[in-house]
Amino acid sequence: MEKSNQAIKVFVSSVIPTVGTDLLKAAGFTVSTWDNLTPIPRNILLGKAKESNALLATLTGRLDATFMDECKHLDVISNFGVGYDNIDIAAATSQGIQVGNTPGVLTDATADVAFGLMIAASRKMFYMHKKILEGNWKHFTPTENLGIELKNKTLGIFGLGRIGIEMAKRCKGSYNMKVIYHNRKRNTAAEELLNAKYVSFSELLQQSDVLSVHSAFTEDVRGIFDKAAFDQMKPASIFINTSRGGVHNEQDLIDALNNRKIWGAGLDVTNPEPMQKDNPLLNMDTVAILPHIGSATEEARNGMSRLAAENIIGFYQNGKVPNLVNP
């Protein structure tokens, strides 16, 4: 095995935790990597992919139909991430390229960030921290800086899958929150586990005190949280997005907050990314924003690295990527 795998060239298009590259090397592949922390330029990515049999990619590289056309010789693309909206799956499938992702290992890490953002937004934490940095902590005031409490409120989950379930568990366990959700398909196992109620999208908007987005990013949810959606939400509600920024319309979110259509927001993902430092959301007291760090724990990133490598190893061992996302 070692000998024949040597002829297989794997290109890793980002710096990733070494567990993955070590596994690929131990399996005998010829591994090369992009060793720079900044995203690989497209022309270099294309050039490297053209010389390789397998690609371990990350979400910073757009692998579109043109890419698939030029790299149709690739056997497998393994994406370092559970989301794979950076990849044109239909184009990969039509070129016969198997695509894998890394589900499961970042569930807790991402749910923790959603949960943390919810609390941070509800108590204006990021804004208050900024006030101290600016030298504006003058004295205690009984009527200022007031947040809202979460106990017994209704949590609405948009996309009740692995991460949504973990977020719901945290909210139920800590705040006795009632869980409602909207999915493309009902998740009856999760309904039972969480005593969760399936509702229409409009009901989700109208009934949630905290609405947390956990869906995969597909064309049918692009910009689904827009003016029309925010207009239906409760004025005291908090919008959380740890999925993909493209699910919300950022200007509509800014307007909804300014016009008090909703109370606050917690975002780990923005639209576009990176967010510019003059974005008005950064100066709003009820908004908490992080730079897409949902999966950024040692445990999750090591797990992602391992799974991403195993997708490639599994393909060459058994002809099928273990975490295959092609239909």
Binding site for ligand DGY (CB under 6 A): 59, 81-83, 106, 294-295
Q: Say which amino acid occupies 133.
A: L
* Residues with Cβ within 8 Å of residue 245, at least 6 apart in sequence: 267, 269, 270, 271, 272, 273
Query: Which among 253, 151, 162 has a CA at the least distance from the CA of 210?
Result: 151
For residues 98 and 295, which CB has a smaller minimum distance to ligand DGY in the complex?
295
Min dist. Cβ of residue 85 to ligand DGY (A): 8
Indicate the residue among 106 and 205 with the shorter CB distance to ligand DGY: 106
User: Quick check: helix, strand or coil at residue 277?
Assistant: coil
When the beta carbons of 106 and 167 are compared against ligand DGY, the nearer one is 106
- 208: helix, strand or coil: coil
Instruction: Name the minimum Å distance from CB 176 to ligand DGY.
Output: 29
**Smallest distance, Å, CB 138 to ligand DGY?**
39
Angle between helices 162-175 and 107-122 (to 10 degrees): 50
33: three-class secondary structure by DSSP = strand
Cα–Cα distance between 159 and 243 in angstroms, integer? Answer: 9
Query: HEC profile for 157-196?
Result: EECCCHHHHHHHHHHHHHHCCEEEEECCCCCHHHHHHHCC
Catalytic site residues? 244, 273, 292
Q: How far is the CB of 87 from ligand DGY (least distance, A)?
A: 11
3-state secondary structure of 310: helix
**Minimum CB–partner distance for residue 106 and ligand DGY (Å):** 6
Kind of pairing between the strands at 76-79 and 54-57: parallel
Q: Which is nearer to ligand DGY, 28 or 103 (CB)?
A: 103
Closer residue to ligand DGY, CB minimum distance, 8 or 106: 106
